[in-house]
């Protein structure tokens, strides 16, 4: 029996998905299983890691069953997950408390403490000028130590969603070079090829957090490398063969870069979903204000990843749909399509859960201004999409100011299901938007990593050549781009105008 099939797993914000692929990148079946997120306080967001493990089995079993592939025909699987979803585990790898998922920004004060350290490790945060995001590993771990010291002290391991799943799959505790380079302040530049030399030791010491390094997994694994085989318990849980190869993945959006074919310098991936990420590759390292990175070797050896991000994008649109009591987006898209660019003077700031870049302000909040009695549901819906597109363009603007000019933008995720949203993105930024045949980029990215780990391809770029296909391009409308300019300028001024108002309210 041939073993020419692969499984990709995508652990997202609202669900965990699994897909079965052949070695050419063709998907055979998908399955998704939801889990709950709790919001104990404003800006807090928690999930139970045990829900991830349960949902993983349901999705994998269903995808394999619906694919018609026998479990014995699967040769490897790889997992991507949300990044900065921090877990504290006991000696057995069981959670001591709910995970602080990526959108949890309770550690805003701790993030400021990190930024105040003036450490070389912080150059990836706007060239050391910061601020540091409250989403990242070190601020969250510092919050645990300062606010739940008993949990921190008793934790044998502090790691991420990604590491939790891979440990329970293989029994081997490792971390991904992708996560540690982009979110843990590890530095793999200048020949720092091992984890001990790359750990931000001086930063941790300044924070009186040196003991965190002892709780991190010791081994750092590159993307596409085999972690180990499924344990007997994990194989029974997933309905797959014992010893099936588990290959190292990473952060969902960055693995999505691979699934979009963004593996060459000068290209950029726009990963959309509950949040947006703008991720590009450069041959040379650089650091600048308003951007994150560059991160050495985070995706591929010898390349440097530059990053921008928006915390609330698809989640804002979903919130609005639910607020309107709609079961789907069809009528909202149809009505919004008939409105002019700028939604007749309505501006929405997309900071419902704070801002990642270029401001990196977890305390910023969403706003709507320009309302009149003329405006209705369609105006609010379109203006919200435009606000997200303005946020993306502001990030592109910051990248250009720092010398990175993407040669092409490839998009994936929820926006690909909306022609309106795609066109607005293209029009606002005045850049063609490329769509691949398979828009499920993180899942395909995991399948590509599985294929490399299983030996079907020599490396990630060679696998991408076969497994990623271009579908079409969305060309920008020059007239619409010109019409958007004044609204974009108004959007840019909104943040600074509201910042002092928010500060006074908090005080």
Q: What does the DSSP 8-state code read for residue 352?
A: B
Q: What is the dihedral of CA 394, 42, 184, 52, to 10 degrees?
A: -110
Domain range summary for the chain, segments of one domain joined by +:
5-250, 261-507
pTM for the whole structure: 0.85
Q: How far apart are CA 46 and CA 53, in angstroms?
A: 15
CATH architecture assignment, domain 261-507: 2-Layer Sandwich (3.30)
**Comparing 5-250 with 261-507, is the CATH topology the same?**
yes
Give the CA distances from residue 70 to residues 44, 59, 169, in Å, rounded to whole numbers and listed in that order. 42, 15, 20
Q: How far apart are CA 274 and CA 388, in angstroms?
A: 11
Binned at pLDDT 50, 70 and 90, residue 406 comes out as: confident
Over residues 490-507, the pLDDT tens digits come to 999 999 999 988 877 776
- The pLDDT score that the predictor gives to residue 266 is 83
Contact 142, 113 (CB under 8 A): yes
> Tokens representing 370?
């320009």
Over residues 444-499, the pLDDT tens digits come to 999 999 999 999 999 999 999 999 999 999 999 999 999 999 999 999 999 999 99
Q: Which of 185, 187, 163 is nearest to 175 (CA)?
A: 163
In three-state secondary structure terms, 149 is helix
Region 5-250: CATH code = 3.30.420.40
Per-residue pLDDT at 361 exceeds 70: yes
> Tokens representing 336?
């919004």
End-to-end CA distance of the chain: 67
Q: Give the ranges where 325-434 is alpha helix by DSSP (H).
A: 330-337, 377-401, 419-429
Share the mean pLDDT of the chain: 93
Q: How far apart are CA 52 and CA 12, in angstroms?
A: 10
363 versus 36: the higher-pLDDT residue is 36
Contact 202, 194 (CB under 8 A): no
> Tokens representing 496?
């600074």
Q: How many CB atoms lie within 10 A of CB 478?
A: 10
Mean pLDDT over 309-335 rounds to: 93
Over residues 281-316, the pLDDT tens digits come to 998 899 988 888 899 999 999 999 999 999 899 999
């Amino acid at each position: 029996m041939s073993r020419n099939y692969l499984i990709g797993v995508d652990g997202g914000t609202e669900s965990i998905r699994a897909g079965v692929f052949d070695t050419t990148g063709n998907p055979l079946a998908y399955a998704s299983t939801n889990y709950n997120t709790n919001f104990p306080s404003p800006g807090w967001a928690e999930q139970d890691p045990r829900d991830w493990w349960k949902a993983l089995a349901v999705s994998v079993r269903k995808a394999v069953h619906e694919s018609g592939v026998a479990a014995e025909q699967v040769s490897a699987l790889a997992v991507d997950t949300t990044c900065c979803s921090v877990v504290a585990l006991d000696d057995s790898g069981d959670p001591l408390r709910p995970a602080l998922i990526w959108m949890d920004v309770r550690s805003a004060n701790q993030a400021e403490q990190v930024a105040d350290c003036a450490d070389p490790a912080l150059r990836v945060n706007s060239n050391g000028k910061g601020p540091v995001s409250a989403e990242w590993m070190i601020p969250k771990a510092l919050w645990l130590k300062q606010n739940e010291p008993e949990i921190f002290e008793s934790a044998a391991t502090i790691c991420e969603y990604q590491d939790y799943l891979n440990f329970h799959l293989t029994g081997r505790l490792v971390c991904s070079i992708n996560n540690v380079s982009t979110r843990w302040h590890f530095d793999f530049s200048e020949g720092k090829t091992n984890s001990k030399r790359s750990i931000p030791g001086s930063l941790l010491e300044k924070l009186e957090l040196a003991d965190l390094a002892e709780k991190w997994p010791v081994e750092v694994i590159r993307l596409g490398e085999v972690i180990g085989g499924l344990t007997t318990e994990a194989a029974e849980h997933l309905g797959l063969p014992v010893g099936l190869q588990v290959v190292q993945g990473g952060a969902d959006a960055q693995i999505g870069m691979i699934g979009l074919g963004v593996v060459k310098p000068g290209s950029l991936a726009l990963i959309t979903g509950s949040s947006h990420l703008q991720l590009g590759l450069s041959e040379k390292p650089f650091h600048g204000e308003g951007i994150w990175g560059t991160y050495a070797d985070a995706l591929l050896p010898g390349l440097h990843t530059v990053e921008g991000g928006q915390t609330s994008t698809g989640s804002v649109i979903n919130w609005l749909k639910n607020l309107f009591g709609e079961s789907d987006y069809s009528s909202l898209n149809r009505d919004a399509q008939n409105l002019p660019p700028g939604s007749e003077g309505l501006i929405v700031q997309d900071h419902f859960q704070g801002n990642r870049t270029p401001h990196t302000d977890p305390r910023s909040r969403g706003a709507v201004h320009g309302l009149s009695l003329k405006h209705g549901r369609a105006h609010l819906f379109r203006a919200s999409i435009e606000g997200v597109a303005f946020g993306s363009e502001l990030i592109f603007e910051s990248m250009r100011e720092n010398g990175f000019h993407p040669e092409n933008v490839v998009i994936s995720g929820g926006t690909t299901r909306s022609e309106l949203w795609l066109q607005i993105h293209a029009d606002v930024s005045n850049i063609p938007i490329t769509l691949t045949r398979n828009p499920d980029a993180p899942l395909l990215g995991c399948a590509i990593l599985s294929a490399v780990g299983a030996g079907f391809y020599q490396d990630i770029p060679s696998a991408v050549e076969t497994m990623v296909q271009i579908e079409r391009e969305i060309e920008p409308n020059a007239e619409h781009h010109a019409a958007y300019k004044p609204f974009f300028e108004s959007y840019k001024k909104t943040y600074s105008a509201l910042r002092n108002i928010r500060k006074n309210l908090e005080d």
